Structure 1
Amino acid sequence: MVSGERIVRANGVELCVETFGDAADPAVLLVHGASASMLWWEQELCERIAARGRHVVRFDNRDTGRSASWPPGRPGYSLRDMTDDAIGVLDALGIERAHVAGRSMAGAIAAGAALRHRERVTALTLVSTSPGGPGLPPMSPEFVSFTGSGGPDPGDAAAVVDYVTGLMRVFSGPSPYFDEQAMRALAVRDVARAASIASCLANHFLIELDEDARLEAIDVPTCVVHGERDPVFPLPHAHALRERIPGAELLVLPRAGHELPAPFWDTFADTVAGRPPLAVGAPAG
């Protein structure tokens, strides 16, 4: 069952949310990373998680999708505010506790929620993210070159779609799972529904990264999910993250990049439904 998109008041701002499944089931809150609206937690993936007896919530972060936006280049909020937004979404929906899954930049949001709102978080899934710190391998030259190219004209929707599709290709890196048709279709939908493309493209990269980094203090069940060939945060980032969080498990997606490819959706749905596999083989093909 899909509830449809709606605007809620959360942490003092208007955010767009959508839910899947039975509200009486244990909740899973999906939080995406920089400049990504909730659409990048694909609807079919959400439905597969809901089919495993979970009430799935996805939402547009500030400056993405239909949620509140700030002037381009002047976000006026921090990563900690975005963490409080996630808890505010739970408040707005009357959800007491949730398994929180954070992807890429939102790994820090999810971890921050577990540290500062421990009573609200039942478990964590941290996807394609990093603990930061010295000694970890850098981002790939291809990713750095692409993101440093200046980006598209925000007023040219077709150029933005091309840029986002190209970015998804770079995120995929040497992975064989990149689906250009599916990524372009998502980009078209994302651009069409964004309150401010200019703000979406810029503001998350300008916010203060003030979230709590005491990963060793996390005391909820945690699974780190990471692509074997991630070009943004190479695999040692995932190993470092697992080592810092007590009892954390690591699920490596063979041959995947900085993505959550459709062939692994059932594996991921099992993971957030509380049945995390400790090893997974590469899908055929």
Structure 2
Amino acid sequence: MTSDGLRLWTERFGDPTHSTVLLVMGTSAQAIGWPDELIERLVHSGRQVIRFDHRDTGYSDCVDFTAHPYTLADMAADTLAVLDGYGVDRAHVVGVSLGGAIGQWLAVHHPQRVQTLTAIMTSPIGNNPGPAWARAMAGQPADPDELPPPAPRFLQHVMASAQAPRTTPEQRIDADLQTWRVLNGDVLPFDEPAARKFVERSHQRARNPAAASNHDLAGRQFTPDRLAPLSSITAPALVIHGTEDPIFALPHAESLAAQIPSARSHVIKGMGHNLFSPGLPERIADLIVDSTATR
């Protein structure tokens, strides 16, 4: 597939005549971050499933961000290009983290393309987390009028990780694996073999591993289109969130669900900010199946 001249790697599963579930991954993560167990469950339920590598990740093309900066809207345009490439007019859009923000953007600005929206481990697109992060990193108290900053343990990990050596493939893999371990939290068990397999495959597939950090730069650009009211979303919506998410505490999901008129919420006790826990992919797949069953 191509989007604005960029080649995007895509993969399709299931019967093309079935309704489409489009899986949109999060910041800096490749499409293979969607577990096979989740995809198999969706296909077995009678869904066509499409996943793709964002620009700057995996087998998709990379961008010189300094020369050609992009925004959330551009990443949403890539998502539409994937649907267009497969000839899909409307899809059940399922996004995790940044992918959930992209899903919101599509549901607001291209409602005719979004059959249902499932937003997992994410925050309202109109929320600018920058100030809350900055105060937390500086050791200052949170502003009670803002959505909460990340958990102290995660922020400590971010600062420590920035100083950790990453000169060998083994060091880079170990550092990424530690990040996923922190994101998982301590309540649900962490499936380290699955996480390691994902990290190792991601390093093997990446055209330019450093390019994935451009997603953070894109996410920080608060353009006016992100301030469009979520109350305009007409697609049935499901907000899935965990009680132990170290990046977006539960109030982020509560705020998102409150702003979307049709939204239902499902809170998973103990879930953090990844899918690397035994049984979790199947559990989320079942929620998606139920949410899209009669739409």
After TM superposition, the score normalised by the length of structure 1 is: 0.88
C-alpha distance in 1 between matches for 2:166 and 2:16:
38
Quote the residue 2:286 is aligned against.
Answer: 270
- In structure 1, runs of 5+ residues without a counterpart are 1-7, 278-285
- More helix by percentage: 2
C-alpha distance in 2 between matches for 1:215 and 1:153:
42
The amino acid that maps onto 2:23 is: L
Distance verdict in 2 for CA 1:268–1:83, change over 3 Å? same
Quote the residue 1:167 is aligned against.
Answer: 179
Quote the residue 1:187 is aligned against.
Answer: 199
Quote the residue 1:238 is aligned against.
Answer: 253
Comparing 80-89 with 68-77, greater Cα deviation is found at 68-77
**Alpha-carbon deviation of 1:128?**
0.2
The equivalences for 1:24-173 within 5 A come to: 24-71=17-64, 76-131=69-124, 132=127, 134-149=145-160, 150=162, 156-173=168-185
Quote the residue 2:243 is aligned against.
Answer: 228
Determine helix, strand or coil for the equivalent of 2:95.
Answer: strand
Q: Is the 8 A contact 1:103 1:127 kept in 2?
A: yes
The equivalences for 1:193-204 within 5 A come to: 193-200=205-212, 202-204=213-215
Matched, 1:23 2:16: yes
State the Cα deviation string for residues 219-278 of structure 1 (Å, max 9, x = none).
Answer: 10000000111111111111111111112101111111112334133332222224479x
C-alpha distance in 1 between matches for 2:19 and 2:61:
28
Over the aligned positions, Cα root-mean-square deviation in angstroms equals 2.0
Name the % identity.
Answer: 37
Q: Is the 8 A contact 1:152 1:160 kept in 2?
A: no
State the Cα deviation string for residues 80-122 of structure 1 (Å, max 9, x = none).
Answer: 1000100110001111110101111221100111111111110
Quote the residue 1:4 is aligned against.
Answer: none
Distance verdict in 2 for CA 1:44–1:267, change over 3 Å? closer
The amino acid that maps onto 2:244 is: R
State the Cα deviation string for residues 10-38 of structure 1 (Å, max 9, x = none).
Answer: 34321000111111100010111110000
Comparing 45-54 with 71-80, greater Cα deviation is found at 71-80
C-alpha distance in 2 between matches for 1:93 and 1:152:
42
C-alpha distance in 2 between matches for 1:152 and 1:197:
17
The amino acid that maps onto 1:258 is: H
Determine helix, strand or coil for the equivalent of 1:30.
Answer: strand
C-alpha distance in 2 between matches for 1:159 and 1:209:
34
Q: Is the 8 A contact 1:83 1:112 kept in 2?
A: yes
